[in-house]
């Protein structure tokens, strides 16, 4: 069993208010996609608001920004869900319908097994990537770093590049 797990945060800014009819397909898919994540091998935890998702949380001054955070056993487990799960991919292919482009919207980082990251911790990781680019403290699928104590990163999916 590994002493570290992989945390991830991703944020997105809705093009229109979250409750707008244009976002209905995305909002309707949330529960199913979240259930798929929870049933995926390697899933550990995900951030939830008062409902079953985190979209009702507003950690940024801009209420149009949605947040998602989760913890996985390793990079391959998260990449498998994000890139190999056909239902998740189908929703993500449509992301430009619902969300604006953001230069910095994703961060991955290693946490001690059992640690559940705070929203502030995740926000700081996105800010770190924005300032320094990928580092061992905060990185992306395209430029991953190994867990502490591991001297190599396992190959990840070609789809991540």
Terminal CA-CA length for the chain:
28
**Is 155's pLDDT higher than 60?**
no
In DSSP notation, 55-70 reads: TT---SSSTTEEEEEE
For the segment 32-39, the average pLDDT, to the nearest whole number, is 94
For the segment 41-53, the average pLDDT, to the nearest whole number, is 92
Sign of CA dihedral 158, 132, 5, 2: positive
pLDDT bucket at 152, cuts 50 / 70 / 90: low
**Is 130's pLDDT higher than 50?**
yes
Task: Tell me which architecture the domain covering 4-160 has in CATH.
Answer: 2-Layer Sandwich (3.30)
Q: How far apart are CA 160 and CA 27, in angstroms?
A: 25
Note the pLDDT tens digit of each residue in 51-95. 888 988 999 999 999 999 999 999 999 999 999 888 899 999 999
pLDDT bucket at 28, cuts 50 / 70 / 90: very high
Residues in contact with 136: Cβ distance below 8 Å, sequence separation at least 6, in sequence order: 145
pLDDT bucket at 128, cuts 50 / 70 / 90: very high
């Amino acid at each position: 069993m590994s002493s570290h797990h992989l945390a991830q945060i991703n944020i997105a800014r809705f093009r229109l208010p979250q409750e707008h009819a244009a976002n209905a397909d995305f909002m309707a898919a949330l529960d199913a996609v979240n259930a798929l994540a929870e049933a995926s091998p390697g899933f550990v935890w995900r951030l939830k608001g008062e409902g079953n998702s985190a979209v009702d949380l507003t950690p940024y001054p801009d209420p149009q920004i949605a947040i998602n955070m989760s913890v996985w056993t390793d990079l391959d487990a998260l990449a498998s869900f994000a890139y190999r799960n056909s239902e998740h991919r189908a929703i993500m292919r449509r992301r430009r319908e619902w969300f604006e482009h953001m230069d910095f919207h994703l961060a991955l980082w290693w946490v001690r097994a059992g640690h559940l990251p705070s929203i502030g911790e995740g926000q700081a990781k996105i800010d770190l990537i924005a300032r320094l680019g990928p580092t061992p403290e905060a990185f992306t699928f395209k430029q991953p770093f190994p867990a502490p104590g591991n001297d190599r990163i396992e190959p990840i999916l070609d789809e991540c590049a």
